[in-house]
C-alpha cells in the first residue's frame, strides 16, 4: 500500500522496522506507542525490550506513561517545564520521588502532613510544612471497630482492588489484591511501614 493509505500505527511500525535494519547504536524514540492499540503496543514493547537486552543498541525514549519505561529502563530522567528535576533507577523514581510532581507522573499516591504522621507514631514532629509520600499498595488495611478510617468506596480494577478510605477530612487510596471481608462503610485502621514513607517537597 502507499504511504497515505497506512494508519498512524502502521506508519510508526514501518518507520521503526526500516530504522532497525541499519543496526543503530542509539535508538531515539518519541512516544513510540502513542498510535497503537493494546495488542500492537505489547508486541512493540517486547521487540524494543529484546533489542535493548541484546546490548548492541542503547535506547533513549520520551514517554508520559511510566508503564512504558519502568519495566526495562536502566535510568529515568524526569523533566518539568524543560528542566531536569530528578534522575535515578526506575525503583528510585517510583518509590523515592523528590517532589509531588515526580511522584504523580509515576502513578497514584497519598500525601500526609509530616507532623500528623510523626505525632501519631509518637515521634518528634520537627518537620513543619513537609509532606510524607506513600504509594497506595504500600498501605495495609485492617477491619477494626474502633478504627478512625471508614471505607467510602471499593473499586475493582482486574488485578487489584482500590479502596477509598476517609480518615478525618482526608481521602486515602489503598490498593489490595483482595477485598474479601471488607464492605463500604466498614470502620478500619491503616498501617504503613516507615520504610515506605518518603519526604517530598
Region 73-100: what's the mean pLDDT?
95
**How much is the pTM?**
0.77
- The grid coordinates of residue 138 equal 504500600
Cell of 88: 535515578
Residue 61 corresponds to which cell in the numbers above? 525514549
> Would you tell me how many other CB atoms lie within 10 Å of the CB of residue 38?
8
Q: What is the mean pLDDT of residues 14-19?
A: 74
Task: Check residues 32 and 102 and name the one with the higher pLDDT.
Answer: 102
pLDDT digits (tens, 9 = 90+) for 55-85: 778 889 999 888 888 888 899 999 999 999 9
Exposed e or buried b per residue across 123-140, where buried means at least 16 C-beta atoms within 10 angstroms of its C-beta: eeeeeeeebbbbbbbbbe
Q: Which of 120, 163, 122, 158 is nearest to 141 (CA)?
A: 163
Comparing 52-56, 105-109, 120-124, 168-172, the range with the smallest average pLDDT is 120-124
Domains of the chain (ranges plus CATH)?
A: 3-105 (3.40.50.300), 110-200 (2.40.50.140)
Residue 125 has pLDDT above 70, yes or no: no
Per-residue pLDDT, 117? 61
pLDDT in tens, 147-159: 999 999 999 999 9
Q: What is the pLDDT of residue 142?
A: 95
Distance CA 98, CA 17 (A): 38
Q: Specify the range with the lowest mean pLDDT, choosing from 101-110, 112-121, 127-136.
A: 112-121
- So what's the pLDDT on residue 51? 78
C-alpha cell at 68: 512504558
Amino acid at each position: 500500500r502507499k504511504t497515505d493509505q497506512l494508519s498512524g500505527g502502521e506508519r510508526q511500525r514501518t518507520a521503526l522496522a526500516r530504522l532497525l535494519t541499519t543496526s543503530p547504536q542509539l535508538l531515539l524514540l518519541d512516544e513510540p506507542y502513542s498510535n497503537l492499540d493494546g495488542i500492537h503496543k505489547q508486541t512493540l514493547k517486547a521487540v524494543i525490550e529484546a533489542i535493548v537486552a541484546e546490548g548492541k543498541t542503547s535506547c533513549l525514549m520520551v514517554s508520559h506513561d511510566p508503564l512504558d519505561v519502568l519495566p526495562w529502563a536502566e535510568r529515568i530522567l524526569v523533566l518539568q517545564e524543560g528542566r531536569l528535576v530528578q534522575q535515578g533507577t526506575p525503583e528510585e523514581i517510583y518509590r523515592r520521588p523528590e517532589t509531588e510532581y515526580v511522584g504523580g507522573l509515576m502513578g497514584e499516591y497519598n500525601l500526609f502532613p509530616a507532623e500528623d504522621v510523626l505525632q501519631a507514631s509518637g515521634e518528634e514532629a520537627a518537620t513543619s510544612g513537609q509532606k510524607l509520600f506513600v504509594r497506595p499498595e504500600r498501605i495495609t488495611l485492617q477491619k477494626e471497630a474502633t478504627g478512625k478510617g471508614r471505607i467510602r468506596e471499593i473499586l475493582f480494577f482486574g488485578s487489584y482492588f482500590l479502596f477509598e478510605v476517609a480518615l478525618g477530612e482526608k481521602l486515602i487510596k489503598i490498593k489490595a489484591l483482595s477485598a474479601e471481608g471488607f464492605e463500604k462503610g466498614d470502620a478500619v485502621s491503616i498501617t504503613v511501614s516507615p520504610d515506605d514513607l518518603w519526604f517530598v517537597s
